[in-house]
Amino acid sequence: GNKSINAKLVLLGDVGAGKSSLVLRFVKGQFVEFQESTIGAAFFSQTVAVNDATVKFEIWDTAGQERYHSLAPMYYRGAAAAIIVYDVTNQASFDRAKKWVEELKAQGNLNMVMALAGNKSDLLDAKKVVSEDAQTYAQANGLFFMETSAKTATNVNDLFYEIAKRLPRL
C-alpha cells in the first residue's frame, strides 16, 4: 500500500542565502528578484511522491538574521530533515553554513537527514565557493550536497526529492 509520511523540515542559513526563495520555488514554482528578508520564520507545506510513499513536508523557513538565532532550536527540534543553505557567491555564507551544521550535530535530532545546498548556482561569474570543497565538507560530515538555483529552478525539486528518499520509512 501507499504509505503517508509527515516530515518536519527546517531551512537554516545565512541572511540572503536564498532559503525563502528555495521554498517559494518548491512550493509555488515561483521566484522573485526582491524577496523580503524573513522575520522570525514562515511555514509552508508540500507533498512529494517517492516510490511507495507520499511524503508531506512541513517546512519551517527560518530567518537568517543573527537576532533570530535564538529561535532556531524551536524549528529544528524534532525535525526529520534540515537543509543548510549557503550562497555560492559568498564565502562567509559557507562559513555560516558550517556553523549551522555544528549546531545541528550538537543539538539536533540524531537521525536527521541533512542536506547542504549551495544556492545561486546560476551566478557562474560570481562564484566563490568551490564545489569540490563543499562536496568534501558535506561528505565528511554526513550531509548530502547539491548546488541549486531558486532562480532557474535547477536541482530544487531534486533536493527535496532526495531528502524524501532518505527519510526513514516507519
Q: Does 93 bind Mg ion (CB under 5 A)?
A: no
Applying CB under 5 A, the span of 35-43, 51-59, 77-85, 145-153 interacting with Mg ion comes to 35-43
Residue of 170, 168, 164, 166 lying closest to 54 (CA atoms) = 164
Question: What residues have CB less than 8 Å from 6, skipping those under 6 apart?
Answer: 55, 56, 58
What residues numbered 90-129 form the site for ligand GTP, per CB under 6 A?
119-120, 122-123
Query: In whole angstroms, what is the distance from residue 7 CA to residue 32 CA?
Result: 27
Question: Does 148 help bind Mg ion (rule: CB under 5 A)?
Answer: no
Nearest-5° Cα angle at 11, 114 to 42? 155
List the 144-147 sheet strands across, edge first.
Answer: 41-50, 53-62, 3-13, 81-87, 113-119, 144-147
Taking CB under 6 A as the rule, which mask of x and - marks residues 45-64 in contact with ligand GTP?
------------------xx
Q: Name the residue nearer to ligand GTP (CB basis): 63 or 143.
A: 63
Binding marks (x or -) toward ligand GTP, 138..157, rule CB under 6 A? -----------xxx------
Which of 24, 81 has the CB closer to Mg ion?
24
120 interface partner picked from Mg ion, ligand GTP, none, CB below 5 to 8 A per type: ligand GTP
Interface residues toward Mg ion, by CB under 5 A = 19-20, 38
Interface residue list for ligand GTP (CB under 6 A): 13, 15-21, 32-35, 37-38, 63-65, 119-120, 122-123, 149-151
